[in-house]
Amino acid sequence: MRTWLVTGGAGFIGSNFVRQCLAEEAGLKLINLDRLTYAGNLDSLAAVRDHPNHLFVNGDIGDRALVKSLLSSHRPEAIVHFAAESHVDRSIDGPADFIETNIVGTFALLEAARSYWYDLDADWRRDFRFLQVSTDEVYGSLGPEGYFTEESPYRPTSPYAASKAASDHLVRAWHHTYGLPVLITNCSNNYGPYQFPEKLIPLMIVKALAGEPLPVYGDGQQVRDWLYVEDHCRAIRSVLQGGRPGQTYNIGGHCEKTNLEVVKTICALLDELVPTSPVLPHAALLTFVEDRPGHDRRYAIDAGKIQRELGWVPQETFATGLHKTIRWYLENRAWCQRVRNGSYRGERLGVVSGA
């Protein structure tokens, strides 16, 4: 049986990855290591809590003894590194956690991986991969034209982006210096089920359903490329299976939208899907607020390399992906309520499921 160590597998993208892999990858065992910070949610893993090929471990990527024990006990063929502090607003208010997790934590994980990889026999060493899941925000802000490519220079502008850029540089250096077979993926803005409602799309859905003001930064004309989370997870699996060690692959949804356009589209879909809402039209809740410091104007991904080399293209359009996302939030209001009132943090177990 193949085994992968997944870090941050109780978070938004990580939990989607875990569920997708267990549903579609026969003979794959996942060791899911997550510290369960505020963004880690065991409710997001309820569907696989008792899956025989899923082992959840509540722990820190910076705990070298724990990571060493997991690697030696389970002998994974790959480490898929999602674990990160990831919200720009939080990084502006408190950058220390971002430095500690994204830089120091990644360093500790790389050192554990390097030691483990050195001790593998030749065949296992050849097949082992360390995949760093990163973001397009490391590239900074684009003008009205052009796209980020894998050759774009790093120009991070927020503490979050700077911490992810630093961790990317560490991963790349461990490949060039030590030969560790690494892969890096830089993705555009993800959305979909189980996303913590501090990010734009779930925040607007949850607030609109509650009849609360919908805060839009500045003039709302910031442009982002939107990627449905399940498409992102498929892309990561493609890179794991066929990516060339040492290479970076940009993952985008081919879908540029202004923030204001996104919010208005959400409002229109909610008008259609919740015709009995007492706050129709939901767009009446729109409220423009002061822009956040250093807000990048535009991100856009050129995902041509992953398409050419690995044949990956997104399966969802923004219309289909957003419709699925809003449907999920409408059908899972209990999940949203537990996040909003904090009760989801009541469960902090060491091992939730065994394998």
Which residues are known catalytic residues?
A: 136-137, 160
Q: Where are the beta strands (DSSP E) in 60-108?
A: 78-81
Half-sphere exposure of 103 (CA within 13 A, CB side): 14
CA distances from 302 to 106, 205, 228, 237 (A): 26, 29, 16, 19
**Which H or E element spans position 171?**
helix 159-178
The torsion angles phi and psi of 186, rounded to 5 degrees, stand at -115, 115
Q: 300, 161, 298, 297: which is closest to 225 by C-alpha? A: 300
Cα three-residue angle 13-16-17, rounded to 5 degrees: 85
Residue indicated by tokens 């950058």: 95
| Parallel, antiparallel or unpaired: strands 182-187 and 214-217 | unpaired
Residues 6+ apart with CB under 8 A from 145: none
Amino acid code (one letter) for 75:
R
> Side by side, which strands form the sheet with 28-34?
54-58, 28-34, 2-7, 78-81, 129-135, 182-187, 248-251
Token pair, residue 18, equals 């875990």
